[in-house]
Amino acid sequence: MKRRFLHLDFKGIVPRFDRLEEYLRYFRQCGFEGLVLEFDCRVLWRSWPCAAMPVYTPEEAARIVRLAESLGFETIPLMQIQGHLEWALGDDSCAGLRENGTLTLCPSAPGSEKQLLAWMDELRTIFPRSRYIHLGADEVARIGLCPACRARLERGETKFQLYSTHVKKFCAAAEKSGFRPLVWGDMLLAEPDPAEAAKTLPESTVIVDWKYWGKGPFGSTRKLRDSGREVWGASGLQCAWYEHFRQILPFYEDRLENILGWNEFDGTVIHTTWGRSGNKYAFYPPWLMSLPLFAAAGDPEKWERHPWRERIGELSRLLRRALEFELVKVPAKIRAWPASCRLEEESREYIALGVEYQIAANRLLEIVADHDAQLASSRFVGIDRETMLRDLVEAPRKLHRDVKELLPKLGAVFDRNGLVGKEEFLAEIGSQFRRLDTVKPLELP
Ligand SMILES: [Zn+2]
Separation of alpha carbons 331 and 312, rounded Å: 13
Reported confidence tier of residue 371, pLDDT bands at 50, 70, 90:
confident
Which phi and psi angles does 133 have, rounded to 5°? -135, 135
Range in 177-191, 322-336, 368-382 with the lowest mean pLDDT: 368-382
| 65 neighbors 37 (Cβ within 8 angstroms) | yes
| 416 neighbors 431 (Cβ within 8 angstroms) | no
Reported confidence tier of residue 431, pLDDT bands at 50, 70, 90:
confident
pLDDT of amino acid 440? 64
CA of 98 to the centre of ligand 1 (A): 7
Q: Please, which contacts does 413-417 make with residues 24 or more away whose CB atoms are closer than 8 Å?
A: 413/286, 413/288, 413/346, 413/349, 413/350, 413/353, 414/13, 414/286, 416/346, 417/15, 417/19, 417/286, 417/288, 417/346
CA of 150 to the centre of ligand 1 (A): 7
CA of 224 to the centre of ligand 1 (A): 27
3-state helix, strand and coil shares in percent for the chain, rounded to the nearest 5:
55, 10, 35
| Pick from 182, 349, 320: nearest CA to 255 | 320
Question: Which pTM value belongs to this model?
Answer: 0.95
CA of 103 to the centre of ligand 1 (A): 11
| 180 neighbors 208 (Cβ within 8 angstroms) | no
397 alpha-carbon distance from chain centroid:
34
CA of 146 to the centre of ligand 1 (A): 4
Residue 364 has pLDDT above 90, yes or no: no
CA of 215 to the centre of ligand 1 (A): 38
How many C-beta neighbours within 10 Å does residue 34 have?
A: 22
Range in 113-117, 244-248, 332-336 with the lowest mean pLDDT: 244-248
Which amino acid would we find at residue 225?
R
Separation of alpha carbons 314 and 252, rounded Å: 10
Three-state DSSP class for 225? Answer: helix
Residue 186 has pLDDT above 60, yes or no: yes
Give pLDDT tens digits for 85-111.
999 999 999 999 999 999 999 999 999
CA of 54 to the centre of ligand 1 (A): 28
Residue 374 has pLDDT above 90, yes or no: no
Residue 242 has pLDDT above 70, yes or no: no
Reported confidence tier of residue 443, pLDDT bands at 50, 70, 90:
low
Mean pLDDT, the chain, as a whole number? 94
CA of 81 to the centre of ligand 1 (A): 13
What average pLDDT does range 67-95 have in this prediction?
97
Residue 445 has pLDDT above 50, yes or no: no
CA of 143 to the centre of ligand 1 (A): 7
Residue 354 has pLDDT above 80, yes or no: yes
Sign of CA dihedral 95, 60, 274, 347: negative
Which amino acid would we find at residue 78?
L
Q: Which domains does the chain have, with CATH numbers?
A: 4-305 (3.20.20.80), 322-438 (no CATH)
State the DSSP string of 328-344: TTHHHHHTTS--SSHHH
CA of 48 to the centre of ligand 1 (A): 20
